[in-house]
Amino acid sequence: MTKLNDMQSILLSTAGQRDSGRVYPLPDTLANADDRARKAIAALIKRNLMEDRETDDAVGVAREDGDLRYGVFITPEGRAAIGLGEGEGAGPDVTPPMPAQPKPERQTRAAMVIALLQRKDGATLAELIAATGWLPHTTRAALTGLRKKGRTIERSKRDNATCYRIVATG
């Protein structure tokens, strides 16, 4: 397995995704990292994961030597280093990347309190403290905050403990 740093991985992946296999122009994520990118490209060329060769493509020019233009392109070894086979990653037959899985909605402690209070039998102060890890005064302050935000909180008794429940409005 070839060890690559983040910059090298980005450069190889960018080149591997392009039909031509060229690195230039650099991706937008590397817009402010020209010097680091050049050093990484030099290291990749030295390791034979990329190569410097003549090109007619004005967009993909890495350097010019008189009338000749040179670009930097991924090699078969470079494709193998990032897990692409020969010819993979370029052209119209590329398998589209899997869509990103939506992140589960972050469960905040305030949301947890509301969920417990919306249960049919509500929640006791001890249950709220156990669920949130808050101190009793913080938990009571959260109940006050919910009241200030317009929630109607009903108090009742359950097993000799005060039970709080959000009353549905409307």
Q: pLDDT at position 140, please?
A: 94
Q: What is the pLDDT of residue 48?
A: 81
Backbone angles phi, psi at 108, to 5 degrees: -85, 160
Q: In what order do the strands lie in the sheet with 153-158?
A: 123-124, 161-166, 153-158
Q: Are 45 and 51 contacting, i.e. CB atoms less than 8 angstroms apart?
A: yes
Kindly report the pTM of this predicted structure: 0.46
> pLDDT by residue (tens digit) across 124-159?
999 999 999 999 999 999 999 999 999 999 999 988
Digit-coded pLDDT (tens) for 82-91: 777 665 554 4
Name beta bridge partners: 93: none
The mean pLDDT of the chain is 80
pLDDT reported for residue 170: 54
Work out the average pLDDT over 104-118.
Answer: 86
pLDDT band at 169 (very low <50, low <70, confident <90, very high): low
- Check if the beta carbon of residue 166 is closer than 8 Å to that of residue 153: yes
Average pLDDT of span 8-28: 78
Structure tokens at 137: 């005064």
